[in-house]
Every structure is written in structure tokens, then in C-alpha cells.
Structure 1
Amino acid sequence: MIEVNGLTKRYGDVLAVSDLTFTVPPGQVTGFLGPNGAGKSTTLRMILGLTRPTAGTTTVDGRPFTQRQAGLHHVGALLDAGDVHPGRSAAAHLAALARGNGLPRRRVREVLDEVGLAAVARRRVGGFSLGMRQRLGIATALLGDPPVLLFDEPVNGLDPEGVRWVRRLFRRLAAEGRTVLVSSHLMSEMQNTADRLVVVGRGELIAEETVAEFAARGGRTRVMVGSPQPDRLAAVLTDAGAAVAAVGDGGSAVLAVTGLTAARIGELAHHQRIVLHELTARTASLEEAFMELTAGSADYRAGYRAGYRAEEGR
């Protein structure tokens, strides 16, 4: 389990993370979401002891990660797929890490097989595509067979087959009882992969709940209504108190309706003898909920980011 308590990080006048508290339990895939600049990467670095917090604590299975010897036995992480010497081969890179952490050499072959890089094990990393580097980063995280895993944007550069593979991998790791924390900006992947979410904005916690709970409070259910009489139908529904927006045109336009149930819309159309070609209730998607609930946290100026990076590099 990962526990974050009152975590705060300042870079000069910039508050990157503010009094952040959440837990990542084992046996589930936890998605870590937020707009660009929300403090996700800084938080992951503080969990791993790579960045010192201004205030607050982080523990992995009850202890700060920096207090553990041979860290790959306890936590595996992918933070930056490009953080590998380009002149080394994939096998050499993993072998060096295995030696430093007291791991058997066979683990190098096993993880290269698992991520699909066994055929290029002797190739220099400098010639790898971004997707291949991501797979090598995942292999590095898996090397020590750890109970806790952190991944920062792990599907960047992967093709559709690779994305599906990563999705299955994360769910298998969680099913084995491991703690899996995945930071991503791809809402569709989180909807298909994560069990629960930790959502942050401007360094502060916005939500900590299941994917279904987060999506459900992101907005009202919309009803999509198709009719060859859209103007008349829109007037009837508006008079009944609904909000109506046209999302189609032509012979049978589609209206997006909020404020009335599908059953009530059908009744009103029937009473007014309006023909319907479609009547479908749609709950908010994870992406719609995310955009709505983080709308106030996405306004970042270029000067803010530049200042943040300059401070972070010190």
C-alpha cells in the first residue's frame, strides 16, 4: 500500500503540491489523473524519494521508500522511458540493475520475454522507438518482482496492440495482490483499466473514488433523441424544463437533452404526435466528468510552467 499524508512541495513561490492526502491499496489498479501541471509527476517522485517534500510524508507498506535497501525488491517504477544510456543494450541495462539489487541474472531474460523485447535484447537502446523504450521501462519496473508498482504515462508511444497488452498486464498485476498506481492523461485507458481514481488539480486533491463514482458525479445523464421533427420536439422539451442542444442535422436530427428522463421525453413526444427515431440515455463518460470537474484547474500560463521547470532543475 502507498500512503500519502499532507504532502506539500514548493519550488520558490510556486506551490506544486498542496496538502495532498490519499492511499493506493493493493489488489486494484489506481489511476492518477490531473491536468498538465497538476503535480502528478512531482508526487510520484516524492513517493520514490527522488524529490524532497516541503511538508508531509509518503510511505510504501508502512515505511518511507528511502529507508529500504535494494529498492527494486519493494517498488518498481517507470517515470521516464528515455532515462537510459543510449549506448547500452537492453540486456546490459537490466543486468546492471539486477546486480546492484542482488537479483538473479535469469530475471533479465524473464522480463525481456514478458515485455516482448527478447529478440532485441542485444540492440543499443539509442536505436529503440519510443514504444520499445516504454516496454524496456516496464521491464525495469518488473525486474525485482516487487509488490508495489508506479507508472507515469506508460502507454505513450505504444501501438494499439501494445496498449491492450499494458492494460492486461496492469490488471493481472493487481489481481496478484500488488499495488498498482498509473498516472495517465488518456481517459479512455483509465476507463478501461483502472478500478479507482485519485484526481488532482493544481496540486490539490479533487477526488478519490471508483471510476464509476467519479463518472457519475461529473454531470447529469443525457438523453439522445432523434426525430424528423427536431424543431418542434425541441420546443416541447424546452417548455417542459429540459436543456436541449442539437448535435445533428439532416432529415432526422439528434438532440442532446438533459433535465428529463427518457421515459418522460417519450411520453411528451407521444402526446404531441412527434415521431422519434432514437431515444437513448447516456451517462457521462470518464472524459466528460474529468473535463467538468477539473475545468478550474487547467488554466496554466506558459510562464508558470517555465518557472516551475527552472526551479525543479535546481
Structure 2
Amino acid sequence: MIEIERLTKRYGATTAVDQLTFTVRPGTVTGFLGPNGAGKSTTLRMILGLNTPTEGSVTVDGVPFAGRPRGLRHVGALLDAGDVHGGRSAKAHLSALARSNRIPLGRVDEVLAEVGLGKAAGRRIGGYSLGMKQRLGIAGALLGDPPVLLFDEPLNGLDPEGVLWVRGLFRRLADEGRTVFVSSHMMAEMEHTADRLVVIGRGRLIADESLAEFSARNARSSVAVRAPELSLLVDALRAEGAEVDLMEPQFAIVTGMAAERIGELAHRHKVVLHELASRTSSLESAFMSLTADSIEYPAGEAR
């Protein structure tokens, strides 16, 4: 379990993380979401003791991680897949980690096989693709068989097969009772991966809830309506409290009313419908809307 209490990190006049409080529990895959620059990486580094908080506290299973000897047995982490010595082989890299954490060297071959790098174990990492480096980083996180695992943008560079494999891996790790914390700036990834979401923006907590709760609260339902004489229906829809966004003279998006009720009103007012289709906004669009005010460099913004 990871427990974060009023966690704050300042760099001079800049506040990267601002009074964060949340708990990452075992047995679930928790997605850590936010736009680029939201403070996700800084938070992960404070969890691992790589950065010192300005205020607040963070513990892993009740203890600050920096105070644990042989850390890979307690927490496995992938922060930057490219932060490895390109001249070493994958096996040499993991063997060095194993020795420094008193992990049996036999474990190196096990995790390399698990991530699909068994045949490439002797190759220099400098010749690896980004996807292969991601797999190597995941192997390093798994090396100590830890109860807590942190992953920062783990799907970068993976092909579709690799993405499916990682999703299955996270599910298995959570089902084994481990704490799995996955950072990303893409809601579309977490929609298929996470059970629970922690969303931050500009270092502040925006949401901390299950994926189902986030979906119910933020995904917006609407109905597309197309009719040759749509104007005859619009007043009736608005009179009953529906919100009508007239896109074209014969086409509108209606919110606040079910398609069945719209059809009943159309029948009552003798309006012929050419289209009546329920729509639900994607979680990606809901996430973008929720974090719109937290984007550090919005596209199209004047400099």
C-alpha cells in the first residue's frame, strides 16, 4: 500500500506537487493520470525517495521507502526505460541490480523470459528498440518479486501485442494482491487497464475514484436527432427540460433526455425522424475536459 498525505514539492517559486493526499491499495490497478507537467513523475520520485518532499509524507507499507535496504524486494519501478547503460547487455544490467539487492541471479533469466527478452538477453541495450527497453524496464521492476510496483508511461513504444501483454501482466499482479500504480497522460490507456483512477492537474488532486465512478460522473450521454422538420420538435424538447444544440437546420444533439422519450415527442408532434441515435462521450474526452485548465502548454495558445 502507498499512502500519501498532504504531499508537496516546491522548486523555488514553482509548486510541482501541491498538498496531494490519496492511498493506492493492493489488489487493484490504480491509474495515475494527468496532463504532461501535472506533477506525476515528481510524485513517483518522492514515493521512491529520489526527491525529498517540501511538506507532507509518503510511505510504502507504512515505512518511507528510502529507509528500506534492498529496495527492489519491496518496490519495483519503471521510471525511464531509456535510463540504462547502452553498452551493457540486458542480462548484465539486471545481474548488477540483482547483486546490489541480494537477489538470486537465477531470477534474471526468469524475468527476461517473462517479458519476452530471453533470446535478446546477450545483446547490448543500445541496440534495443524503445519497446524492448520498456520490456527491460518492466523486467527490472519485477526482479525482486516486490509487493508494490510503479510504472511511468509503461506502454510507450510497445506494439499492439505488447500493449495487450502489459495489460494482462498488470491484471495478474493485482490479482496476486500486489499494489500496482501506473502513471500515464492518456485516459484511453487507463480505460482498458485500471480499476481505479487518481487524476491530478498542476500538482493538485482532481479525482480519486473507481473507473466506474469516474465514467458515471464524467462521461456525458446525448442523442443525435435528424429530421426534415426538426424545428417543430425543438420547442417541445426544450419545454420538457432537454438541452438542444442545433448543429444544422435538420440536425441536433440533445442532452438531458432519453432517445425513447424524444421518439415519443416526435410521434406526438407528427415529426418524421431520419435519425435517432444515443451517444456516450468517451472517457478520453471526459478526461480532457476535466483537466483542460491544467494543461501547461495548450495547442494554439499564443506565446
TM (norm. structure 1) is: 0.89
Structure 1 pair 115–241 and aligned structure 2 pair: CA distance change class (3 A): same
Helix, strand or coil: the match of 2:225?
strand
**Residue of structure 2 in register with 1:288 after alignment:** 285
Deviation at 1:278, TM superposition (A): 4.5
The letter of the residue matching 1:258 is T
Aligned residues: 299
The letter of the residue matching 1:270 is H
**Residue of structure 1 in register with 2:267 after alignment:** 270
**Residue of structure 2 in register with 1:190 after alignment:** 190
User: 1:110-149 alignment to 2 at 5 Å?
Assistant: 110-149=110-149
Helix, strand or coil: the match of 1:81?
coil
The letter of the residue matching 1:97 is L
Correspondent of 1:259 among 256, 259, 268: 256
Helix, strand or coil: the match of 1:155?
coil
Structure 1 pair 284–215 and aligned structure 2 pair: CA distance change class (3 A): farther
Deviation at 1:187, TM superposition (A): 1.2
The letter of the residue matching 1:261 is A
Helix, strand or coil: the match of 1:174?
helix
**Residue of structure 1 in register with 2:59 after alignment:** 59
Asked if the contact 1:35–1:201 (Cα under 8 Å) also holds between the matched residues in 2, the reply is yes
Structure 1 pair 195–247 and aligned structure 2 pair: CA distance change class (3 A): farther
User: 1:12-27 alignment to 2 at 5 Å?
Assistant: 12-27=12-27
Moved more, 110-119 or 235-244: 235-244
Structure 1 pair 227–174 and aligned structure 2 pair: CA distance change class (3 A): farther
**Residue of structure 1 in register with 2:179 after alignment:** 179
Distance 2:220 2:256 in 1: 8
Deviation at 1:268, TM superposition (A): 1.2
Moved more, 180-189 or 141-150: 180-189
The letter of the residue matching 1:67 is G
User: 1:1-314 alignment to 2 at 5 Å?
Assistant: 1-218=1-218, 220-227=220-227, 233-234=233-234, 236-238=236-238, 240-245=240-245, 255-300=252-297
The letter of the residue matching 1:256 is I
Give unmatched runs, 5+ long, in structure 2. Answer: none
Deviation at 1:136, TM superposition (A): 0.5
Distance 2:287 2:233 in 1: 31
- Give CA-to-partner distance per residue, 1:191-218, whole Å, 9 cap, x none: 1110000011111111100011112222
Moved more, 257-266 or 170-179: 257-266
Distance 1:293 1:105 in 2: 46
Deviation at 1:105, TM superposition (A): 1.2
Asked if the contact 1:246–1:254 (Cα under 8 Å) also holds between the matched residues in 2, the reply is yes
- Percent pairwise identity: 68
Helix, strand or coil: the match of 1:57?
strand
Deviation at 1:285, TM superposition (A): 2.5
- Give CA-to-partner distance per residue, 1:91-132, whole Å, 9 cap, x none: 110011011111111111111111111111111000111111
Helix, strand or coil: the match of 1:193?
coil
Distance 2:164 2:154 in 1: 12
Structure 1 pair 290–184 and aligned structure 2 pair: CA distance change class (3 A): same
